[in-house]
Amino acid sequence: MMKKFPFLFNDIGGKIIEERIKSILLRSEMFHRFALKTYEIYNEVKNKFNNIGKK
């Protein structure tokens, strides 16, 4: 395994893989925050329309 993929086991390869994993996690966290914010806005608008409909 080490002979096939030496770049995975040296420092430079490890840093590259670590940075890739960090960027993927960061992107998924940003998407999750965006989705939560969108859902909050949707609920606010829905509640406002419900309140208007009740009057």
Q: What is the pLDDT along the chain (55 residues), one digit of tens a residue?
A: 456 665 555 676 678 778 888 888 889 999 999 999 999 999 999 999 888 877 6
**Burial status of residue 43 (CB atoms within 10 A of its CB: 0-12, 13-18, 19 or more):** exposed
Q: Using alpha carbons only, what angle is made at residue 5 by residues 14 and 27, rounded to the nearest 5 degrees? A: 45
Confirm whether pTM is higher than 0.85.
Answer: no
pLDDT, position 22: 87
Report the alpha-carbon distance of residue 10 to residue 47 in Å, rounded: 56
pLDDT, position 3: 62
Say which residue the tokens 């490890």 belong to.
14
pLDDT, position 4: 64
